[in-house]
Chains A and B, each alone.
Chain A
Amino acid sequence: DAKTTQPNSMESNEEEPVHLPCNHSTISGTDYIHWYRQLPSQGPEYVIHGLTSNVNNRMASLAIAEDRKSSTLILHRATLRDAAVYYCILRDWYNNNDMRFGAGTRLTVKP
C-alpha cells in the first residue's frame, strides 16, 4: 500500500496561515488524498480530500502537486481550536477501506 510521510510537529501563530506538507511518492492513479485531524480525547475529524485538482472547503484548502507525489493542507487562519494531530492518508478507489493512519503532524498554535 502507498504510504505518506509527514513532519512530526509544526508550530504556528494564531491567525496566520499554516501549510502542512505530506509526501506520497508511491501514490497510484486511483489513490485519493485524504486529510483528517484529531483533537485530544476525540475521534478523528474529516478535513478535506482530493484526487488531482486543488480543493477548497470551509475548513481548509488542499494543494496537490502536478505529479501527485506530494500535497499540502492549508489552514488559512489558524486558531487555537486548530491545534490537533493532522493525518494525511491515501485511500484507493477500489480498496475496501483500509484507513492507514500514520503518526501524523502535531500542530501547535501559539496565541
Chain B
Amino acid sequence: ETGVTQTPRHLVMGMTNKKSLKCEQHLGHNAMYWYKQSAKKPLELMFVYSLEERVENNSVPSRFSPECPNSSHLFLHLHTLQPEDSALYLCASSQDLGGQYEQYFGPGTRLTVT
C-alpha cells in the first residue's frame, strides 16, 4: 500500500465506548498529524508528532489521547466522547516539520458519536 492509510473508514460509537483510530504512512516521513473536520467548519489541527515525539497539542480535550509508537504509525484513542465530537478525523504526514514541506492526508475516519 502507498501513501497514508486510515482505519476504520467509518465508526459509530456510544458515549461510554472506548475505540481507537489508526493511521499508517508508507512514505518514510518523520512528522505525523491528527486533524478534525466538522461539518461546515475549517480543518482543525489536533496533534503534531515528529520522530514519535509530540510537539503540538492544540487544546484538545483529554478524551482524545494520541499515541505514536514509531514514525510510521499514529493512533488516536477515544473515550467518553460527546455527540459534538462527531466529525471526519484526518491523519497526515510530511517529510519533516516546517512550512517548506507539503502534507499528505489519509482518507479520514468518519466518526459518529451516539
Residue numbers of A with Cβ under 8 A of B are 30-32, 34, 36, 42-46, 49, 51, 90-103
* Residues of chain B having any CB pair with chain A under 8 Å: 4, 31, 33, 35, 42-43, 45, 48, 55-56, 58, 90, 92, 94, 97-100, 102-108
A-B contact count (CB 8 A): 65
Nearest 3 A/B pairs, CB to CB: A91-B99, A43-B105, A101-B43
B108 touches A49 (CB 8 A): no
> Across the interface, do A44 and B102 meet the contact criterion of CB distance under 8 Å?
no
**B100, A102: Cβ atoms under 8 Å?**
no
Overall SS of chain A's interface: loop
Query: What is the CA–CA distance of A30 and B104 in the complex, to the nearest angstrom?
Result: 21
| Cβ contacts under 8 Å, B55 to chain A | 96
Closest to A98 in B: B45
Is A100 a contact partner of B98 (Cβ separation < 8 A)?
Answer: no
13 contacts between A and B (CB under 8 A): A42-B108, A43-B107, A44-B43, A45-B105, A46-B105, A51-B100, A91-B98, A93-B98, A94-B98, A95-B99, A96-B48, A97-B97, A103-B42
